[in-house]
Structure 1
Amino acid sequence: MAAHFGRRLRKGAATTAVAAAAVAALAASQAPGVTTEDQGRQPTGAQAAPDGIDGGSADDSATGNGGYYTDLPPLNSPTTSPSPSAGTITGITGDSEAGIPATVLDAYKKAAAELRQSKPGCNLPWQLLAAIGKVESGQARGGRVDAEGTTYSKILGPVLDGNGFAHIKDTDNGAYDGDGAYDRAVGPMQFIPSTWAWAGRDGNGDGVEDPNNVYDAALAAGHYLCRADRDLSVKSDRNAAILGYNNSQDYLNTVLSWYEYYLKHTHSIPDGTGKLPTHRSGEKPGTRPKPRTSAPATPKPGKGGSAGPSPSLPGTPKPPTTSPTPTPTDTVDHLANGGTGTLSAMAGDTFGQRIVVKALTKTGKAVAKVRVRFTISGDTDATFTGGESVATVVTDSAGNATAPALLAGEKTGDFQVRALVVGRTVTGIAFPATVAERQADTLVRTSDTALTCTPGGEFTDQVEVKATYKGAVADGVAATATLVKSADDPTENDKGPYFKDADGKTVRTLTGLKTDADGLLKLPKLYADDTTGPFLLRITAAGGATVTVELNVAAAMPPAEPSA
C-alpha cells in the first residue's frame, strides 16, 4: 500500500474520489491470523504475530496495540518549506502536513544519531520515528512540549481493560498512567508502563527516563525498533519492527505512508503549532467530536487522579458489560525451571546451554502461547544474541519458553537472568550465571630454534608461544612470563637474562600479557648480563597452562687457529 501511495505522489494525481477510495481501502484491509487470543488488539486489521521472539503481542508491544491516528498524508507531495513568517496552517496542505514541531523534530534526529553510533547496523532513519510519532500522538499533540521536551499534560491512550482494546492489568501501580486497575499507553510515543520499565531511555541527559519527554520517548522507540539485530534498511526487518510496535496491518500501512511522505520533504515549525490528526482507529463514523483548533485547556484529573486525554482525543471506553474471556496468560500460576542447569562461560564465549522455563497453572498444567520476558541484570556486559539484555519468548505447546543464546562479555563475575510472565504478576525465576576469565589448557612454543646469547649481548630471536583451549585458539588469555631460578624453584632469578621496561631498567617478570586473536603471544627482546650458563623462562597462562623455555648464555668461541 505504501508503494501504491508513492506512485500517486510521484504522478501528482490527487482527486477527492481517489483519496476517499484509498482511505476506504486501508480501513477495510483485514489481515489473517486473528484469534480469540487477539481480543483487545486493533478492532480491524489486527495481525497475530508468529510464536517466537519479539512478536509484538498486546501486552508486550510498545503500545499494547492501543488506538492510533489513522489520518493519511495528502496525495500531493510536500513542497518547499514555507517562509519563517508563515503560520501553522498555511492553506497549503502539503506544507501543513510536512511541518514537524521544532523540539519534536530535534528529538527524532538526535535519537537516530545516537542509534547510528550505538547500533550502526540498524540503519534507523529519523523519518521512521517521525512517522510513528505522527500516528501515535500527532507529534506530541502538535508539539505541545516545554523547552526540555516534556509534554505540558500527559498523553494517555485508552484504558486497556479489554473493552475494544487489549486487556492488560495494572503493572506500575499507576505511576505512569495514573490508573491502578489497568494499564494505558503513555507519552508522545505511547509506551505502556510494562514495556517502558525495560525499554525506557534517558534521551535528554537529565538522569530521568520519562515516557512523557519526547527526547526520552524517541530514543526508547529507536532502541525498541532496533531490537533483535534488525536492519531497518531491509523491508522485512522494517515491517517486523513496526508490527512489533503495534501489531496491526492497518497500522503498518499508515506508518509506512507517513514514512514515505516524510522522506520526500519535511521542515521545522514552531512548537505547539502542529496540525492535529482527527481520526483514530476503532471509531465509528460520526461518533468523534469535532477537533479543537485552540490550545487545550488544563485537563481535569482522569481515572486514578491523573490527567486524562485532551478533548481532541477519544474518550475513555465504556465499562464492559461482560467479563473478558480469560487468556492463557490469565491462567498462569507460576513459572518452573524447564531443565536449566549451571550457567557458566568464559569471557567472550557463548554459554553452553540456554535457559528454559515452563509456564504452569495452579494444578501444574502447561500453558502455551504465554509471553515470558528474560532480563539480564547485574554488573555485566553479557547479552542475548543480537546484543540485547531483554528478550521475550512465547511458550510452545509444552509450555516451554527457551531464551535466546546467552553471550558472555568481557566482564568477569556473577550476574542473573530473570524470567517473568508478561502481563501478569506471578513469581518469577532468577538464574545465576558466571563469566570466568579466558583460559588456556595448552601453551607451546612456535619455534624450536635454540635461544643463545653471549654475555652482555641480546638474544637474536624473540620468544613466541601459542595458546589453545580444548584444541581451539585461546585468544585474549592473560599470561605472565618469569625468568625462574630452576625447574623446581619458580621464584624470580636475580641474575642471567632479563627484559627491559620502558625506561630501560632490568625486568625479569612480565605481567599483563595477553594472547592475540590467533592465540599468539610474542615476548619483548631478551638481554644477557655477564653471567653465563643455562637459564629458564617460564610462561604461565590463565587456566594453568605453562611452558618452560631454555636460554643459554655462553662466551663466544675463539676463532680457530689456522692449520699448519
Structure 2
Amino acid sequence: MARNRGRHAAQRAATTATGHRRRGGLRSTRYRRGLGGTAIAAVVMAALTASQAPGVELGGDHDDGRSGAASDRTPGDDSYETELPPLESPHPPGASEPGAGGESGIPASVLAAYKKAAKSLASRTPGCGLRWELLAGIGKVESGHARGGAVDKEGTTLRPILGPVLNGQGFANIKDTDGGRWDSDADYDRAVGPMQFIPSTWDRWGADGNGDGRKDPNNVHDAALAAGDYLCAGGRDLSTGADLDRAILSYNNSSDYLRTVLAWYEFYRKGTHAVPDRDLSVLPTAPGLGESGGGPDKGSPERGGKRPGKGGGSHDKPNKPNKPNRPGNGGGNNEGGGGHDEPSPEPTKPHTIKRVGAENLTAVAGEKFAARPAVKVVTSKGKAVKGVKVRFDISGKTEATFQGGGKSETVSTNADGVATAPVLSAGGKTGSFTVNATVPGKDLGKVGFTASVTAPQADTLARTSDVVLEAAKNAKFAQAVEVKATRKGKAVANTTLTATFGQDAKAGPYFGKNEQGEPIRSLTDLKTDANGVVKLPDLFADDQPGTYTLTLTADGGVTLKVKLTIKG
C-alpha cells in the first residue's frame, strides 16, 4: 500500500521470457531477468522516475482516486506477488479433485481479521460497501496472508514483515519518518506488516482493530481495519466498478496490481474456507511480497520485549509458534473458524430511494417553505444507508430557490438514511414547481415533490387612523374608514376584503343606497392597493342612535371590528 519500489517494474521491462507452470490447478507467472547490467540500470532509472513517495512529487499527475482524502500518493509498485488464482472455482478440502481447495484456503486468524474489519466498516461507513474478500485479495498479494497466518493469538506477526529499504536504490527515496519504531530503520522507511504500510501512512490511517488500545501495523486486525478505512476514503462506493478500481489503484497505482487483486477478489467471492494458521500444506506456497526478516523477532531483546504501538505495552510472554493443526483466533461467530465458508453476504449498499414526509408542499410568495423535501435511502432489505449523496433539483418555471440561491443541492444521508433538502424559498411568483430527488451515478429511481406558491394573505388588519367614528342622526360620518392589510409586518397588496354590519342589519350606519333606495350595509370585493390599504366608501347615519359594529374580513380569514356611533 504504502510502498514505493521499482524493482519488479525494472524486471518486467527487462523481461525476455515468461514462464508458466501448473501445480494442483494453480497457474502462476514468473518473470526472469534477461538483460545485462547497463540495460537493467537504464530500466531501473526509468521505473524510478515514474515513482513517488507519499507526499513527494517526482513528476506526473497520478489520480489516486481519493478525492483529497489523503495527501500521500502511491505510485505503480510492481514488487508484489504476481501469482494468479486457479481457473477452477474454489473447493473446500476433501473435494473429489486431488489437491483442490488449497488456493482458496485462508489462515483462520487472518480470515477472522478480514471479516471483522469489513463488519466494522459496514456499520461505520455503510455507503462504502467494502467486502472482506477485497481485503483478502490485497492481503494475499501484499504478504501471502501474513506469511500463511504466522501470527500469535492476538494477531501480531511472529516476525516482522518488512519491505525493502526505500533508500532510492531501485526504489523511491523516503527518509525515515518513525525513528525506526516500526521498521527498525532509523535512516529510511520500509513498508511494514501484513498489509504493508509505510510508517508515515500508518501514522495517518492506523487503526485499533482488536480493541487492545494500540495501533500496530504488525497486527493483522489493526492492519485490516486501517486498510479498509483507506480503501473507503473519499466517500467511495466499492459496490461500483469505477470506485473499486480507484480504491485498489490508490493502494498501488499499477494496472497489473489492479488486475491481480481483482482476480483474487473474484476468486474468494466464489467461496473460501479457513485453514489452520501457518499450515502451508494447504496454502499456496507463494509468499507474497512482504518478506520476513529485516528486524528482530516479536518479544526478543532487540525489540524490547514489547508490542509496538501507542501506549507502550508490557513484556510479552515467549513466543510459542502455532501448532500446525490449531486454528487461529477464530472466535465464536464463525469468523475464521474451521470448515467451509460460504461467500460473504452482499454488503450494506443503497438499493432504493423513497419519500419521507409530505409529497405536496405549500408556501406563500415571498416566504420560505415550512416543510422541506426529504428522502430515505435503504438497502434491498429496507435497512437505512448512511453517507449516500442525494441531489435535489428544482424543476419548472418558478422563482423558487434553495437557501443560498441555487436550483440544485446535494445532501448526504444521515445515520437514519435520510437526506433532507435545504430550506426552500418560494420567490415572488405564484404557481407550482417540482423538486426531484435522485442519487447521482446510481439507478435508484427518482422521488418527486410538488410545491405550490400561493398569493400572500393578510394576517393583520388595522385602521390607519385612531379618530373616533361618530355622526349625528341622518348625517354623514366625517371620517371614512381606512384599513391596512399586512402579513408579518409587510403590506399585502391586491388582497380582497368584505365589510358588513351584519346580514340582517336593519338599522344603523350604511354605505349609501341602492337603486331601490334601500340602505347598503354590506360590501364585497374590496381590494387593497400596492401599499396594502383600502379606503371604504363614505358612511351615513340613519335616525337610530346607538353604537354599531362594522366587521372587515380579508382573504385568509383575518378580521377587524370597527365601532361607529350615531349620536341621539
TM range (shorter): 0.3 to 0.5
Greater radius of gyration (CA): 2
| TM-score (normalizing by structure 1) | 0.45
TM-score by length of 2: 0.44
